Amino acid sequence: MVEESPKRQGIGSLEIGLSILNYISSAPKPPSLKELSGALGLSPSRAHKYLVSLLREGFINQVNQTQYTLGNSSLTLGISALRRINPIQLSYDAVDRLNQQIDKTLSVTVWNGNGPLVIKWLDSSQPISVNVRLGAELSPLNSASGRIFLAHLPESRRKQLVDHYYKSSRTLPKHRGRPVTREELQPHLDSIKRDNYCAFFSDYLPEINVLSMPVFDINARIVTVITLLGLDLDTDISEGSYLFEKVRECSELITRQVCGLQKNNTAEG
């Protein structure tokens, strides 16, 4: 019988102080002492002692004599943490977990200047037959991840790529089985940017559905795109479907991690 390892002991007062910082950082406006103590289950006198220490160390500032906001020490700490975040590795880890959970083919792409580059590829337990693999450079218009990147590019660069495609290609890009003209493309890209996803329903790969969603950094720039592929018979990627929501959860989780965001925290008395 394997014994459970004892719960690691920590410093309760430090954990409460950090919970106060977390609450201040996530509050929509600088909270008052009353709001802090009520939200975290602390008496006003006890919460005030923590606030005094945080003020002394520069982690918070007082506003209007009654409210509290983050200070320079918190800003320095946050910037330092953001510099150490690796969005590529975070994408790899999240896609590994998602692949184990839903057993679908998944990829991670980055923008190489001209199109998406596949930097991670995970097959499902029933691999699908596609001519895309690790290291492949995809079309900016004929791939779901490409259209995600294209929709977020600066207008001048997007125009260059689009003009080149329509001048050099013999076929028009597709969406839901029909060709997309040059005039129709921009509204299509606008909807992709607005909705934060691009889906292909057997548009380029016969009987293969493809769903791509972006991961953003703190400056709202795309760092990676997560893509799911599967046979149309068992891969429902319509908006609101189970797989759609799982990819959405994955991309949004990575974005939160990259941006240093977190869920609400509470402190215990």
* pLDDT beyond 90 at 83: no
* pLDDT beyond 50 at 43: yes
**Domains of the chain: residue spans and CATH:** 12-83 (1.10.10.10), 87-259 (3.30.450.40)
Amino acid at 48: H
Query: Over the stretch 179-190, which tens digit does the pLDDT of each residue have?
Result: 999 999 999 999
- Whole-model pTM: value is 0.73
Question: Average pLDDT, whole number, for the chain?
Answer: 90
Q: Cα(216)–Cα(251) distance, rounded to whole angstroms? A: 9
Amino acid at 14: L
Q: How confident is the model at residue 7 (pLDDT cuts 50, 70, 90)?
A: low
119 close to 136: Cβ distance less than 8 angstroms: no
* pLDDT beyond 70 at 3: no
DSSP per residue, 139-207: PSSSSHHHHHHHHHS-HHHHHHHHHHHHHH-SS--EETTEE--HHHHHHHHHHHHHHT-EEEESSSSTT
Mean pLDDT score, 115-139: 91
Q: Note the pLDDT of residue 263.
A: 53
